[in-house]
Structure 1
Amino acid sequence: MHALDLEAMHALEYPEHFNADYAIRRGIDYRVYESEPQTFYAKCTQYRISCDWLIRRKYCWEIKRYNGSHTCPRSSISQDHFKLDSITIAEAIKPLVEADPSIKVKSVIAEVQSKFNYTISYRKVWLAKQKSIEKIFGGWEASYEALPIWFEAMYAKEPSAAVHFETMSCYQGDNLVPNIRSYYPCIRAFRYCKPVVQVDGTHLYGKYKGCLLVAVSQDENNNIMPIAFAIVEGETSDASAVARSNGAWSPPRAFHMFCIRHIESNFLRKFKAPYLQKLIVNIGYSRTVREYQLRHGRLCERGEAYSRWLDKIRREQYALAFDGGYRWGHMTTNLVECINSVLKGARNIPITALVKATFYRLNELFTRKKVEAEARINAGYVFSEIVTSKLHANQRTARNIQVNCFESQNEVFEVREMSSDLEFAVDLRQRRCDCSKVQVDHMPCRHVFACCANQQLDWQVYVHDVYRIDQVRKVYRARFRPLGNPTTWPMYDGPRFVPNSFLKRVTKGRPKITRFLNEMDRKMLRGPRCCKQCRVEGHSHSRYRQVGGSSAGSAAQNA
């Protein structure tokens, strides 16, 4: 009998291990035609092309045929190794996914290429990432079943928490088979935040589609405060809390405002007039009626169709000059976009793991912000750094303002700026100024500072309570309660939760973007960069010398 090499010994003694790891490391590939307890028959994938490797084993250790080591060149092996399947990759990338569930597929491809020296397909890596997430955080289907159990435990620890489910009946054939949430500390914290709520959604990227809706507010130091979360099938009218509130989110209890960034995007989609983009935004940011009228007039001069389109939107819903100060100067939904950093990676994991991630990350946020607020109070601060900076700036510019009092109670004034010669009316009783900054920002403008200095009044009276540091301490004083050992949780006796099969992602092909792209997604809409110098894609004119070199120069000459 011939002395077998290590490769053949592995194939004979451990065929199940040899099928993947050993073949990948050796840079070879083969196909198994028969693998039974008593027989093993395999051939190189390049058999009779560039290699004659063949092995056949029968019964215990009787070798019927062995052609020796592989002779096929490594270049003949596909860059995406057949034995390098998603299961092998999932085990290899497990530490990376555990550290960052939102890791990009391209980064995983680079890691696999560095580790195995093979460049594998996008789809295979995406599947491997999902399997790795499932190993770390549990199965996707089992996670849906665990969700009501986890919420039941949270509600038992904190009865003040608000938990609400809306489910669909599940049928198997013709037989009936027997998601909004908010944490109590967030509900309590909102009482001491700015009375502004921004709502937006972000897509879930796991095995099942869905949308995570988040409602946020802001404290006195411009810190973002999550209020409520909802997991829904998508941003639909059925999922809208405003549409289903039966008037609870309507004036005078609540006022609905529009994001100026989305109005700008819709305008560009309608008219394809990017030269008017800045004017649309400036109309919304107009703080005074005079500013609004001037900018709106410029839009009318460009075309009546433009102004008619904008006039279909109530100006109270997009212009600062008419919003009554209800939006506190917030013109966009950027607050919701920022909360994604707190929930980074949570959108890639199963639903119960996502809920747990928001719970523990919010607990960490509350604990940290409470310590910071206590430190500022102990240091003797009355307002936050951001608010103090704004107030001092307004106070400095108030020195060059002439004040005339128009009432015996010293609350109505007319002021004139010496530098611009502009005049403004100030009513301290109503906390109003013609510049509208008092109404928008809910803190003294430079004209109010000038009036207070003229009459020796305390300007701090005209700063809204939400800006005081003692309010911040109230925002974060509520505590999250630990859930403890699962064995101490109450017994769940409710309906069984299962995922909606219609929301399951396709199993073939590369995952596709489900969002409707608009003008705010310019980077995704535009094609590859093209150099104006050499007309070659992949770099811009500013990087022509660095990237192009001599080849770019020759390409430019040929062009």
Structure 2
Amino acid sequence: MGTILQDHSKLDSDTVAEAIRPLVESDPSIKVKSIITEVQSRFNYTISYRKAWLTKQKSIAKVFGGWEDSYQALAWWLSVMTQKMPGSIVQIETRPLYNGTEEADGTLLVAVAQDGNQNIVPIAFALVEGETADAWHFFLRNLRKHVVRSDGVGYSRIVEEYNINYKRLEERGEAYARWCDAIGLRHWVLTFDEGHRWGHMTTNLVECINSILKGARNLPVLALVRATYYRLNEIFTRKSAETHERKRAGFNYSVFAQHRIEANIQRAGNIVVHRFDRRNEVFEVREMPNGKVLVERLPYRHVIACCANQRLDWQLYVHDVYRMTEVCKVYRFEFVPLGDAETWPAYQGPTLVANLALRRTSKGRPKLT
């Protein structure tokens, strides 16, 4: 029909929302600029940034449900999930109806672990109003209660390294050192942590899971939870197939452990070993240059050298977590399809109502996080 005028009354946000619906359905995180380009290509018309932003919100609501309706359906969906997946744990903390006019951005908190092959495994999620002290307390309290019981420690892999770092701490201020002393070495120094941290000293591993959840963060709450559930199913199914394939191929240890062990075997040849008792329990090892002892519960080169000297099997000193049989167990949990909502039992629990006071109020140029 030629070029559409910029003030065309029929090309409103509802019309455009229906036109771009397939795009939003396949990629909820589609950028607003991409929507503007799509409309320009299809209708030969350039819509404003705000109309494109509003269009995306309407299309998401049509495909994934509205913001308020999503909260009302959330409790029912979670109750069905826990019935069909008895190992799942859900904790919902609510406020009685509405609470003032405060504003906050919704935040997704994620806790991850690693298997014996250094693969990242999501283990817990929390949807909270923001990164507040109360929200973190809620998440960490339930994480400790239902998932883990380990303490955090500081970054010193060997005693000598700890001594150097502690001396620097004292030089900076006596009060710092005394404060750390009150905590107890086991709780904040890696070399004294009894192996609970497996050599890990970073929380940035969780950033690697963002690609798995890409696009889901823009969705209403129920659609986000549902997408997370099915994407976790995809991860566990794929990783389970990969680990079982490696096990069938005859590998005893994970790729990570195999590389570490092979490197330590090669470096063990330059170590001089002296045995100090008849039970093979006390050895003195020397090497040049001096190396560091790892805290990953793998036989480092000193142990391998002692085993070679006394004809012992070094495999006895590899922790079970690195064996393929144990890595396979990480992914033995299987997700189940929840089925159509028409087949679900009637919901008898409390009703969740979206708190409009906590919804982001757009100021200036519309944005999504």
Change (3 A) 1:406 1:105: farther
Q: Could you say which structure has the larger radius of gyration?
A: 1
Q: TM-score, length-normalised on structure 2?
A: 0.86
Give the residue type in structure 2 aligned to 1:255. Answer: D
Bigger mean CA deviation after superposition, 399-408 or 124-133 = 124-133
- Measure, in 2, the Cα distance between the counterparts of 1:336 and 1:108: 30
SS at the partner of 1:26? coil
Give the residue type in structure 2 aligned to 1:122. Answer: Y
Give the residue type in structure 1 aligned to 2:220. Answer: P
Change (3 A) 1:311 1:387: farther
Residue in 1 that maps onto 2:200: 330
What are the within-5 Å matches in structure 2 for residues 73-88 of structure 1?
Answer: 84-88=11-15
Contact preservation (8 Å) 1:219, 1:225: yes
SS at the partner of 1:238? helix
Q: Which has the higher helix share?
A: 2
Pairing 1:510–2:358 present:
no
Offset from partner CA, 1:164-194 (integer Å, 9 cap, x none)? 2222221699xxxxxxxxxxxxxxxxxxxxx
Give the residue type in structure 1 aligned to 2:215. Answer: G
Aligned residues: 362
SS at the partner of 1:228? strand
Bigger mean CA deviation after superposition, 358-367 or 149-158 = 149-158
Change (3 A) 1:496 1:450: same
- Measure, in 1, the Cα distance between the counterparts of 2:27 and 2:275: 62
In structure 2, stretches of 5+ residues that fail to align are: none
Residue in 1 that maps onto 2:273: 403
Residue in 2 that maps onto 1:101: 28
Pairing 1:447–2:302 present:
yes
- Measure, in 1, the Cα distance between the counterparts of 2:275 and 2:238: 47
What are the within-5 Å matches in structure 2 for residues 61-140 of structure 1?
Answer: 84-117=11-44, 119-140=46-67
SS at the partner of 1:335? helix
**Given the alignment, which residue of 202, 213, 229 partners 1:343?**
213
Contact preservation (8 Å) 1:212, 1:230: yes
Q: Which has the higher strand share?
A: 1
Residue in 2 that maps onto 1:47: none
SS at the partner of 1:101? coil
- Measure, in 1, the Cα distance between the counterparts of 2:272 and 2:99: 79
Give the residue type in structure 1 aligned to 2:339. Answer: G
Pairing 1:467–2:322 present:
yes
Pairing 1:289–2:152 present:
no
Contact preservation (8 Å) 1:123, 1:509: no
SS at the partner of 1:170? coil
Change (3 A) 1:124 1:407: farther
Residue in 2 that maps onto 1:414: 284
Q: TM-score, length-normalised on structure 1?
A: 0.58
Offset from partner CA, 1:208-246 (integer Å, 9 cap, x none)? 942222222111111111212222222223232477469
- Measure, in 2, the Cα distance between the counterparts of 1:150 and 1:339: 24
Offset from partner CA, 1:371-391 (integer Å, 9 cap, x none)? 112211111110011210111
Change (3 A) 1:142 1:224: same
SS at the partner of 2:198? coil
**Given the alignment, which residue of 78, 83, 86 partners 1:156?**
83
Structure 1 position 354, deviation (Å): 1.2
Residue in 1 that maps onto 2:293: 436
Residue in 2 that maps onto 1:360: 230
Superposition RMSD in Å: 3.3
- Measure, in 2, the Cα distance between the counterparts of 1:242 and 1:27: 52
- Measure, in 2, the Cα distance between the counterparts of 1:102 and 1:246: 29
Change (3 A) 1:103 1:29: closer
Residue in 1 that maps onto 2:248: 378
Relative contact order (alpha carbons < 8 A, sep ≥ 6): 1 or 2 greater? 2
Residue in 1 that maps onto 2:116: 220
Offset from partner CA, 1:18-74 (integer Å, 9 cap, x none)? xxxx7xx534255xxxxxxxxxxxxxxxxxxxxxxxxxxxxxxxxxxxxxxxxxxxx
Pairing 1:28–2:5 present:
yes
Question: What percentage of aligned pairs have identical amino acids?
Answer: 56
Contact preservation (8 Å) 2:99, 2:357: no
Contact preservation (8 Å) 2:29, 2:215: yes
